[in-house]
Structure 1
Amino acid sequence: MSAQGKHRKPSMATVVRIAIAAGVAGAAIGLPVTAASAHTAADQGANRPSTVSVDATPVADQAPAAHDYRVVSGDTLSKIADAQHVDGGWQKLYQDNHSVVGGNPDLIFPGQQLTINGQAAPAKAPAAPAKAPAAKSATDAAAKPAAAPKAATQQAPAAKPATTAPTAAKVQPAAPAPKAAAVAPAAPAKAPAAATTSSNAAYVAPAPGKVTTGYKVAGSNWSSGYHTGIDFPVATGTSLKAVAAGTVVSAGNGGAYGNQVVIKLADGKYAQYAHLSSISVSAGQSVTAGQQIGLSGATGNVTGPHLHFEIRTTPDYGSDIDPIAYLAAHGVNV
């Protein structure tokens, strides 16, 4: 065999070796790809828990539910707000109950109904009605086509009242003439009766209820030695009325009388109201019978809330007359 032939055999072996090496290299090259794929799958599995929503955690209760509270003796808005844990304090409580308390937050009295955390209730109430109309609207939508023809039918008769209106108008001109003649003589007869009624209605009681301490009751509690007026046992905050039309001559602090109002009445007499918790009028102001002049209270020298009422011949202390007899003379019994 020639030397050239010997050389070719080793060449074939070399080719085989190269092929084997190429296979091994291919396997080596494939390994990183598989590892990368495995790594990517692992990463995806690791990231899956991050998609869980944190909203699944229950939310804690927020504000306490709204409820009512009835005022008892000794209560103030501040005490109620602290005891009921009102968010925003007595100012928030007063804001929610302004229509009940009125213009003076310091003046509340037993029996008043207050709303605690009042803004919580309105938010829940509309939720139920909101769903009910949705259910009805689906039914109404189907009913509307049937109702539409009826609406058209109802509009047609509307023209008929228009034709009857002229008929009524024609009857009216003839009717007034005889009636006017018949009523005219009767009017003068009723006028005197109305005048008598207005005379009695010109006076009203200064406060509700009956008198407890009468006029000129003797006792050491009064500097004059006797009671110069009459007392009405009304709770603090009771509305007090002008007994008749007149002009306010003083409104303010009256010393032992506390907050007081003195009104000069049309007949020249003076009405005095004492121990008021608040005053609603000012000096120089004209008032009418039954108009509120203030609210009862316990200011000045008192043992409890009430109205002290006097009728005087002058605006000053010591000119008092019997208020019970005076009011009775004008149709008011107390």
Structure 2
Amino acid sequence: MAFTCATGKHRRPSRMKRGTARAAGVAALTTTGVFGALAAPALAAEPAVEQTGLTPVITIGDSIADEIDAQAAAQKQAADEAEAEKKAEEAAQKKAVAEAKKAVAEATKVREAKARAARAEERRLLNAYVAPISGSYVSTGYQSSSSLWSSGSHTGIDFHASTGTSVHAVGSGTVVEAGWGGAYGNQIVIKMNDGTYTQYGHLSSIGVAVGQTVTPGRQIGLSGATGNVTGPHLHFEARTSPEYGSDIDPVSYLRSHGVNV
């Protein structure tokens, strides 16, 4: 005959019941995560950042870190190369500008030197004088007396020359007469840069025109025997005006300008 033990407040649970309750409690704790948090923290559910206010720390593997480092190094290298290229371009531009300035300065110096040389040559030509016929000599002097001349005396000097000998302008000036001159035959009169005049007579050929400028030594015609002459030669006069009768001593005139006659 089985006996049943009545339950009541005054009775403790049996051993079996206590064990069953303990097992049920452990199961409940495991199910809710409390036991898991205490027994195995790695498996416990982590609370959200909003709940804790803490910043989570993420741990990555070595291979990923190496890859990130490699990317960073590559980016730095690319930036360094770009900076070096930029500096090289800037240096090249500065060099090009400097070379251009140097070229301009050198070209300016060359132009200035040429301009100075041209001015010096111009001054030389303004002041330079030559004999009207190269390698010749005076065959008839100034103011020589003879019935051959209407004034009774020679108004110029004669240079010995055969027909066709080159006749040169004695200095720089402008042609004011070029053509027939009566007793002078074919003649040329030049107004010199110093304001005086020179005349070349008895020419066989005239090689310049009125208004043309000439320089020392420029061929202006050929000697001959045109006009009132006894033979070929060059009649040369120095004058204060283009007109006949304003003659001055041509030998003194040429010598005053450095010409040895």
TM-score category of the 2 structures, normalised to the smaller one: 0.5 to 0.7
Residues 1-334 of structure 1: matches in 2 within 5 Å?
A: 198=124, 202-208=128-134, 209-334=136-261
> Does the Cα contact within 8 Å between 2:157 and 2:250 map onto a contact in 1?
yes
Describe the SS at the equivalent of 1:311.
strand
Which structure's CA Rg is the greater one? 2
Quote the Cα distance in structure 2 between the aligned partners of 1:265 and 1:227.
Answer: 22
Describe the SS at the equivalent of 1:212.
strand
Which protein has the bigger helix share? 1
> Does the Cα contact within 8 Å between 1:200 and 1:330 map onto a contact in 2?
no
Identity among equivalent pairs (%): 68
Describe the SS at the equivalent of 2:142.
coil
In structure 1, what residue type is equivalent to 2:124?
S
What whole-Å deviation, never above 9, does each CA across 1:26-61 have from its counterpart, x for those lacking one?
Answer: xxxxxxxxxxxxxxxxxxxxxxxxxxxxxxxxxxxx
Quote the Cα distance in structure 1 between the aligned partners of 2:248 and 2:142.
Answer: 9
What whole-Å deviation, never above 9, does each CA across 1:251-291 have from its counterpart, x for those lacking one?
Answer: 00000100000000001101000000000001111111111
Quote the Cα distance in structure 2 between the aligned partners of 1:285 and 1:316.
Answer: 19
Change (3 A) 1:246 1:201: closer
> How far did 1:218 drift?
1.2
> Does the Cα contact within 8 Å between 2:180 and 2:187 map onto a contact in 1?
yes
TM-score, length-scaled by structure 2: 0.52
Quote the Cα distance in structure 2 between the aligned partners of 1:237 and 1:332.
Answer: 23
> How far did 1:220 drift?
1.2
Describe the SS at the equivalent of 1:198.
helix
Give 4+ residue runs of structure 1 displaced > 4 Å after superposition: none
> How far did 1:198 drift?
3.0
Quote the Cα distance in structure 1 between the aligned partners of 2:252 and 2:216.
Answer: 18
Match of 2:69 in 1: none
Gaps in structure 1 of 5+ consecutive residues: 1-186
- Greater relative contact order (CA < 8 Å, ≥ 6 in sequence): 2
Quote the Cα distance in structure 2 between the aligned partners of 1:310 and 1:213.
Answer: 12
Gaps in structure 2 of 5+ consecutive residues: 1-112
Change (3 A) 1:308 1:212: same
Describe the SS at the equivalent of 2:138.
coil
Quote the Cα distance in structure 1 between the aligned partners of 2:125 and 2:182.
Answer: 35
Change (3 A) 1:284 1:300: same
Describe the SS at the equivalent of 1:324.
helix
Q: CA RMSD in A?
A: 2.6
Quote the Cα distance in structure 2 between the aligned partners of 1:198 and 1:286.
Answer: 16
In structure 1, what residue type is equivalent to 2:165?
T
Describe the SS at the equivalent of 1:272.
strand
> Does the Cα contact within 8 Å between 1:218 and 1:227 map onto a contact in 2?
yes
TM-score, length-scaled by structure 1: 0.41
Quote the Cα distance in structure 1 between the aligned partners of 2:125 and 2:214.
Answer: 17
Quote the Cα distance in structure 1 between the aligned partners of 2:124 and 2:194.
Answer: 16
Match of 2:109 in 1: none
> Does the Cα contact within 8 Å between 1:272 and 1:311 map onto a contact in 2?
yes
> How far did 1:199 drift?
6.9
In structure 2, what residue type is equivalent to 1:326?
Y
